[in-house]
Amino acid sequence: MIKIKELSRLYQIQKTFIEYGLIELAPKAQRPKSYWILRLCLFWLRNQHTHLSLPERLRLSLQSLGPIYIKLGQMLSTRRDLLAPIYADQLAHLQDNVPAFSGELAIKQIEESFQRPIDELFDDFDEVALASASIAQVHTATLKEDGREVVIKVTRPGIEKTIAADLQLMKWFAGLLQRFLKDAKRLRPVEVIREYEKTIVDELDLMREGANAIQLRRNFLNSKLLYVPEIYSDYCTKDALVMERIYGIPVSDIDALKAQNTDLKLLAERGVEAFFTQVFRDSFFHADMHPGNVFVSYEHPEDPLWIGIDCGIVGTLTNEDKRYLAENFLAFFNRDYRQVAQLHIDSEWVPSDTPVEEFEFAIRAVCEPIFEKPLSEISFAQVLINLFNTARRFNMQVQPQLVLLQKTLLYIEGLGRQLYPQLDLWDTAKPFLEKWMREQVSPKTLVKKLKLKAPFWLEKLPDIPELVYHNLAQTKQVQKQQQLLMQRLNEQQSRNSKNQVITALAVTLSIISTLLYLQDDGKINLYLTVPAVISWILAWRFNNKL
């Protein structure tokens, strides 16, 4: 049940929506009737920002509502193929330009985290934040012990309470949707919110972020695709994280990248390759790659290197998920719609009784017009949206474990198209996926898997004869129990059959005796009555034995 605190937050959201005039985002003809009821109930609220443009109001409203809504704006800012440029430009300010909290509060938070005065840990601490985001902000300093340049990430004071209230409200809304919305079973809103809750709660723990960054850095050590700053684990707590300071150009600063003659085509292609490498090679991917978290190294612009920071949100996939995803992508690339339909059914993303032919035809009808364009002009995000809208007719369910992957793919495509509008995502990804699929069935991969399993098998090898013996003995015992059970069932059925015959005889004799009694003017026919009584007694005794 929703609590007073959540009701207060709900009112705050509605108040923000009205005071920033966000209803103007919807044409008058499409505005829901519920909005006018809401306006009547909250008649004292008015649009207080009429002097600002609608894109500015949207950005400020999300900013005022806090971390969860800021993250929504961050994701939308990368979708320039879906949003008008004026909206995308405004929402881009949410990536690394969220108002910072004071340096004094940051110092207090750091000292409480490390239980030591800041002067004992760092020199040259800059109280002015280098960058500020929805959950935390960063300050520059140098380590006291060796003078290395670092940045210190510190969480916003009181952020956990705000996020907890928003999440509780979201869960309440999701519960209502699941109860009353016709498509709730397919959309699975409660599971999606639970998955999102886990993600954002994990992001609040900077120790977890540090561990994620260490793993990601190890996966791409000495790589030409991606560089992850070093984490100084001795200086990490739940609320403060110290890492190597990096110097790079924000990926959104296209003019600066062009000024140093960066190979934008290669940079965009490497971004796609880095994403698919994380997903399919490592099963561990950076899931928050909005422009505020991505930089490009100043060094070697002809051979550009991505720099990724803020590893608070990472995603993982099972081997089964990876295989189905790779096969789905390749089937799309090859326009094998029958395979796409069959894979959706095999993976239970749509019900198992879905007619394959009908689903294939529906996918073909949606995708073929899109593929008439040159591949470089096709938005993979748009293909996904159209596919999901089609699958909706076939009761496709939302897959919570794939939500992060879908969001990250949208980020990557948005960034790639921003850097190099002619980016051919399909042409870049297809060779990688084909190579990965071949490797999964190669002798080398088989030998590698055997080596991984060999220690376990060798450990269990001496126990195999005993396990086989116990299994055979258990099987024999089960067979005996089954035979005994069948014997008892047969005896039971035999007794039931006898009882049914005797009961039927008793009923028949009773009916005949009654009819004769009525025809003989009340004279009892002992020849039939006595056998009927005896039959009823026998039937009663059989029932008691059963």
Give catalytic residues, as residue numbers. Answer: 288
- Rounded to whole angstroms, the Cα distance separating 280 from 229 reads 22
CA 101 to chain centre: 31
Helices 337-346, 356-371: axis angle to 10 degrees equals 130
- From residue 440, alpha-carbon distances to 337, 346, 449 in Å are 23, 19, 10
- From residue 267, alpha-carbon distances to 197, 221, 258, 352 in Å are 33, 18, 12, 42
DSSP state of 231: B
DSSP state of 462: G
Please choose, from the candidates 162, 160, 158, 174, the residue with its C-alpha nearest in 3D space to the C-alpha of residue 2: 174
Grouping H, G, I as helix, E, B as strand and the rest as coil, residue 285 is strand
> Is 108 within 8 Å of 154 (Cβ atoms)?
no
Angle, CA of 79, 270 and 424, to the nearest 5°: 60
- Secondary structure of 3-62 in HEC code, one letter for each residue: CHHHHHHHHHHHHHHHHCCHHHHCCHHHCCHHHHHHHHHCCCCCCCCCCCCHHHHHHHHH
Angle, CA of 280, 286 and 289, to the nearest 5°: 120
- Secondary structure of 298-324 in HEC code, one letter for each residue: CCCCCCCCEEECCCCCEECCCHHHHHH
> Is 546 within 8 Å of 502 (Cβ atoms)?
no
Angle, CA of 121, 215 and 432, to the nearest 5°: 145
- Rounded to whole angstroms, the Cα distance separating 230 from 233 reads 9
The DSSP H or E segment spanning 98 is: none
DSSP state of 244: E
- Rounded to whole angstroms, the Cα distance separating 425 from 272 reads 7
* Nearby residues of 518 by Cβ (< 8 Å), 6 or more positions away: none
Backbone dihedral angles phi then psi of residue 381, each to the nearest 5 degrees:
-60, -40
Q: Which amino acid is at 95?
A: Q
Helices 67-77, 189-204: axis angle to 10 degrees equals 100
